[in-house]
């Protein structure tokens, strides 16, 4: 996948389009990502030992990875991700707009 945990991304589609956030979790099998503070839904939590009062929680739901774009740290623009092999045979992700190494 082109997105990794900890990346800063811009939401391109959906009800939260235009918002920025940090990737909390990546689910590669389902091609989905969970972004901090985005795509919140209500979850009804039954009381249990770890959460004795119960209640309604707001949690982040996974988004399809195709609906987010990585933000480059150098040019601060949403960009597609390219792959490049360095001189020491290390494979890294690069910004398609400015050529900066993202890893």
pLDDT of residue 24: 97
30-36 mean pLDDT: 97
Cα distance between residue 12 and residue 43, in whole Å: 25
For the 1-46+55-71 domain, the top CATH level (class) is mainly beta
Measured distance CA(39)–CA(19) in Å, rounded: 10
Handedness of CA 60, 64, 67, 71 (dihedral sign): positive
| CATH 2.30.30.30 domain span(s) along the chain | 1-46+55-71
- The reported pTM is 0.84
Q: Write out pLDDT tens, residues 35-92.
A: 999 999 999 999 999 989 999 999 999 999 999 999 998 888 999 999 999 999 999 9
What pLDDT shows up at residue 66? Answer: 95
pLDDT for the residue 99 = 87
Q: Say if strands 78-79 and 68-71 run parallel, antiparallel, or are unpaired.
A: antiparallel
For residues 98-102, average pLDDT:
88
Tokens found for residue 50? 């770890």
For residue 1, the model assigns a pLDDT of: 83
């Amino acid at each position: 996948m082109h997105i990794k945990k900890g990346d800063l991304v811009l939401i391109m589609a959906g009800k939260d389009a235009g918002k920025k956030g940090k990737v909390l979790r990546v689910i590669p099998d389902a091609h989905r990502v969970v972004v901090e503070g985005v795509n919140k839904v209500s979850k009804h939590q039954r009381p249990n030992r770890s959460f004795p009062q119960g209640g309604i929680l707001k949690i982040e739901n996974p988004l399809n990875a195709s609906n987010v774009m990585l933000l480059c740290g150098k040019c601060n623009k949403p960009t597609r991700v390219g792959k490049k092999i360095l001189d020491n045979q290390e494979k890294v992700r690069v910004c398609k707009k400015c050529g900066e190494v993202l890893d």
